[in-house]
Amino acid sequence: MSNVVIGWAKRTPIGKVGGTLKSYRPEKMAAALICHMQEETGITGEKIQEVILGNVVGPGGNIARLSALSAGLPYSVPGMTIDRQCGSGLAAIEMAFERAYVNKKALFLCGGTESVSQAPWKMEKPLRPTRETPVLFERARFSPDEIGDPEMGEAAENVARTYQVSREIQDEFAYKSQQKAVQAQKEGKFEEEIVPLGQINEDECPRENTSMRKLKRMPAVFQKNGTVTAGNACPINDGAALAVVTNQKQANYLGLDTRFSIVDSCTVGVDPNLLGIGPVPAVRALLERNNLHISDIEIMEFNEAFASQVVASIQEMGISWDRINLGGGAIALGHPYGASGAVLIVRLLKEMERANAKFGIATLGIGGGMGTAMLVEQQK
């Protein structure tokens, strides 16, 4: 068990793009979490070393610094914004972990925030601006053409084909994710981890009326005879999540929760055409260097960008479905890009608390061909 702990972690509700959170700018969502954290813990701005946030499709600038100022933190508190695509929120927590390990008195606010609803439109600059009409900038580049730079959905199809993940099993996984999320929402399990934004206090995406029959009727989206559909892939979302990371001694002094320590984290590269399989080598490396086996991991929070990727990865890892995403995953709850890694940590801590689990892992596949994972231990 390391001496760096997650002393507090919560998230906002997750909204559909253009949905309940469309009027909330990314820094306002993060600021709401910062303010709520201060109210709950009594931590003053002078105690905060830095705010580190992931953000992917925001307006640019430095969302972390903007969030800190929006929350009323002192001018002396700096901010750093990280873009590691879907892994940005987890990368922010990883950076805080590494720095808190060295600086024993430092306390970091870290996580991610994303408003896809308010993502700016971008135009490609023509080579001859006075003679050519600019066109919409379609998307960022993640890999050179000679290697392959597939759309995320095409990469999910590649994984399904390479690892022989059928349409039926993808739909089944998606259905179970919806069922688990709907049940958890009904039982009020998300209430402990959600900080309301105004009157909005629950996730918008879980669909109670989902059925296997409906999922089977959905057409493939990315390839003519493909298996990836809107039903077995995640929606596009808005949301934020925040964690307090500090040394255990400092956490004790400030009266924070000291049960959950960050043991280690790992990020690896894989073939960009099979980016969804990235969690497999990341988790394996994490386990190997900490002398653990997959059977030691009681709970895993796995980003459900696409069912094909999750199913392929957990098959390769040899972990059973009943230890994955106990309250549903991104297929049901949503995927607010830069915040998703931090959302996984919030969810992981709550599920570990309920199950009294010793070890848990949060993991994601990342655009450009990467996988990232973080190992958390609960002191019993």
The residues assigned a catalytic role are 86, 335
Q: What is the DSSP letter of 121?
A: P
Task: Count CB atoms within 10 A of the CB of residue 168.
Answer: 12
Sign of the Cα pseudo-torsion (223, 271, 176, 14, in order): negative
CB within 8 Å of 79: residues ≥ 6 apart: 50, 51, 52, 53, 62, 63, 64, 65, 66, 67, 68
d(CA 336, CA 86): 8
Do you know the residue count of the chain? 380
User: Scanning the structure block, which residue is given the tokens 């790992």?
Assistant: 266
d(CA 13, CA 334): 10
d(CA 260, CA 358): 9
d(CA 363, CA 283): 8
Per the DSSP assignment, residues forming a β-bridge with 264 are 375
d(CA 346, CA 158): 30
Tokens in use for 65?
Answer: 């610094």
Tokens in use for 84?
Answer: 């590691």
Q: How many CA atoms lie within 13 A of 203 on its CB side?
A: 36
d(CA 295, CA 176): 22
